[in-house]
């Protein structure tokens, strides 16, 4: 089976993705253990860089030949038809489409994701989980969902159970819903039938997924290595780590990269690979530590800045993420000159910083159109920027464009899926996660995101199967399994009305659960 088959196979356009979900876990049995812009007038002090946005749009409209068919169900072309020319979003939409019109697309671009009909009847969901648009962490932004009092009580029971368990002692993560308001501290969940919003807090394996403070991060003492490392004395551990990544063995790749940087502390590429691999494994704190070390050794490593921005975005550290995007521009050979007469505001108003960066990235987009290729990294940076301010449609469009240049990049498909899911379109997000896992079956973060989308679609058994596969891939004697996945698994099991299995979750009895759901 080729990894590109899902993009061209006719059945992609006819089969509901949820039907395929139950098959995904069966295909992993042979694996080793692993893991727009609404621009204001852009003015720079250098007269050569002074640009009038109306002039730009007029020029680009004259050059416009045909729209790019992006691999997603959201199309700015259709949105443009519905916008009045006086609408401020009209100019951005027109400009973004035209700026992409001169790109040379791959000879065989990926078939766009099928827009599936809403062919299932919604049943009351336990609650809505929000996958982070970049990788894993859940977002505290509510999406409408029906939520009855019985479910609140069931969730309260799970929270109490998790708080009593050992693995919930020092951790926290969040998930939100609409239609009922639930507030609690570490010991109490206060139920109220008359309220309409929910903010449920569960436990995470390291720190709050959405509320990690800059102070907590600054107090971090650096990357903590796994001890003992069976590959510490291995010859050429860096090269071996790359080989394991090629076969999607994330867990062992981490161990090899750790051995590489322990044996050669100034190995910037090994630190970069370690950071990227840890982010795929869902461990943002470890990824941040590794990527910061990479940048310390190689301050012009633009890939490190992109990945670090993603990790900061996962932790809701907006200012740090914006700074990484700014550094990406500063250190990029093609775009650094844009900042020669421009300084990012030193004041703490994050909204002004965002506007500054948005205008700079718009300038970069206009420059990149003069080349005949899509700058996928530039599109990813812009997508992260929009994600930080909850503009998921524009983030989706950016990730779509990046995928046109790199259709076989599993990380991009996962980003796309998470952006779509945060827009509330979980069924369509399933497609993107499906592609990510076809390209990289050991991509634990994409597997977990897929499970959360299944849970939001009330496909509880499929969600449980994906959570169990992710835990099975993480089940290495040297690495800990993610408590975040365990907690979400507990919720899915309760939604499936299988209280008899909760004890297995409480004591992390993975073998019993794998047997129960017939996962080998």
pLDDT tens by residue, 109-157: 333 333 332 322 233 334 445 444 344 333 433 333 333 444 444 444 4
Q: What DSSP designation does 36 have?
A: -
The 10s digit of each residue's pLDDT in 268-326 is: 999 999 999 999 998 899 999 999 999 999 999 999 999 999 999 988 899 999 999 99
User: What does the block give as tokens for 59?
Assistant: 């020029």
Q: What is the pLDDT of residue 460?
A: 97
Q: Look at the domain 213-298 and name its fold.
A: 1.25.40
Q: What is the pLDDT of residue 378?
A: 96
> According to CATH, what is the number of the domain 426-519?
1.25.40.10
Domain ranges of the chain: 213-298, 316-406, 426-519
Helix (H, G, I), strand (E, B) or coil at 35: coil
Instruction: Report residue 176 CA to chain centroid gap.
Output: 18
pLDDT tops 60 at residue 373: yes
Dihedral angle computed from the Cα positions of residues 178, 416, 303 and 364, in that order, rounded to the nearest 10 degrees: -100
Nearest to 132 by CA among 304, 307, 313, 308: 313
CA atoms within 13 A on the CB side of 493: 22
Sequence-ordered list of residues with C-beta below 8 angstroms from that of 316, at least 6 positions apart, any chain: 137, 209, 210, 211, 212
pLDDT tops 50 at residue 1: no
**Is omega for the bond preceding 112 within 30 degrees of 0, making it cis?**
no
The 10s digit of each residue's pLDDT in 338-359 is: 987 666 555 567 888 889 899 9
Cα angle vertex 132, ends 364, 92, to 5°? 35
Nearest to 74 by CA among 424, 439, 433, 445: 424
The 10s digit of each residue's pLDDT in 471-508 is: 999 887 677 788 889 999 999 999 999 999 999 999 99
In DSSP terms, 476 is beta-bridged to: 479
CA gap 207, 209 in Å, rounded: 6
The 10s digit of each residue's pLDDT in 35-47 is: 233 333 333 333 3
User: What does the block give as tokens for 363?
Assistant: 């300038």
Q: Compute the residue count for the chain.
A: 520
Tell me whether the CATH fold assigned to 213-298 matches the one assigned to 426-519.
yes
CA gap 483, 473 in Å, rounded: 14
Q: What is the pLDDT of residue 129?
A: 52
Cα angle vertex 128, ends 497, 314, to 5°? 125
Contact 430, 450 (CB under 8 A): yes
């Amino acid at each position: 089976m080729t990894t590109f088959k899902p993009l061209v196979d006719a059945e992609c356009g006819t089969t509901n993705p949820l039907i395929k979900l139950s098959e995904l876990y069966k295909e992993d049995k042979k694996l080793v253990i692993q893991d727009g812009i609404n621009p204001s007038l852009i003015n720079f002090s250098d007269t050569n860089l002074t640009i009038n946005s109306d002039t730009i749009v007029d020029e680009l409209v004259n050059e416009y030949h045909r729209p790019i068919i992006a691999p997603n169900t959201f199309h700015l072309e259709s949105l443009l038809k519905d916008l009045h020319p006086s609408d401020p979003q009209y100019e951005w939409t027109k400009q973004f489409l035209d700026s992409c019109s001169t790109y040379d697309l791959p000879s065989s671009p990926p078939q766009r994701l099928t827009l599936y009909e809403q062919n299932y009847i919604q049943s009351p969901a336990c609650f809505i989980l929000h996958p982070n648009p970049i990788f894993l962490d859940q977002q505290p932004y509510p999406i409408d969902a029906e939520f009855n009092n019985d479910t609140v009580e069931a969730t309260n029971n799970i929270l109490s159970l998790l708080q009593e368990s050992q693995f919930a002692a020092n951790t926290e993560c969040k998930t939100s819903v609409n239609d009922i308001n639930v507030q609690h501290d570490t010991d109490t969940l206060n139920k109220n039938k008359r309220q309409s919003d929910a903010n449920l807090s569960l436990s995470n394996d390291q720190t709050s997924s959405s509320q990690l403070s800059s102070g907590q991060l600054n107090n971090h003492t650096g990357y903590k290595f796994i001890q003992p490392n069976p590959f510490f004395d291995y010859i050429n551990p860096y090269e071996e780590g790359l080989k394991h990544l090629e076969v999607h063995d994330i867990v062992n790749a981490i161990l090899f990269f750790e051995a590489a940087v322990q044996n050669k502390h100034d190995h910037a590429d090994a630190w970069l690979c370690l950071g990227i691999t840890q982010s795929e494994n869902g461990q943002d704190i470890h990824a941040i530590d590794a990527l910061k070390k990479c940048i310390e050794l190689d301050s012009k490593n633009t890939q490190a800045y992109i990945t670090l921005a993603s990790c900061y975005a996962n932790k809701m550290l907006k200012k740090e993420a914006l700074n990484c995007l700014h550094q990406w521009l500063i250190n990029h050979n093609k775009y650094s000159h844009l900042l020669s007469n421009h300084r990012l505001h030193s004041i703490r108003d994050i909204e002004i910083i965002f506007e500054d960066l948005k205008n700079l990235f718009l300038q970069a987009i206009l420059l990149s159109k003069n080349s005949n290729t899509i700058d996928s990294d530039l599109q990813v940076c812009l997508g992260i920027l929009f994600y930080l301010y909850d503009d998921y449609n524009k983030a989706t469009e950016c990730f779509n464009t990046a995928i046109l240049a790199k259709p076989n990049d599993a990380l991009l498909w996962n980003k796309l899926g998470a952006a779509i899911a945060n827009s509330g379109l979980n069924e369509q997000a399933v497609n993107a996660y499906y592609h990510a896992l076809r390209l990289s079956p050991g991509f634990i973060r994409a597997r977990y995101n897929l499970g959360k989308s299944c849970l939001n679609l009330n496909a509880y058994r499929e969600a449980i199967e994906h959570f169990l596969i992710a835990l099975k891939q993480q089940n290495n004697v040297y690495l800990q399994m993610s408590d975040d996945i365990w907690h979400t698994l507990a919720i899915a099991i309760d939604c499936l009305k299988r209280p008899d299995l909760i004890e297995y979750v409480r004591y992390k009895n993975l073998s019993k659960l794998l047997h129960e759901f017939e996962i080998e």
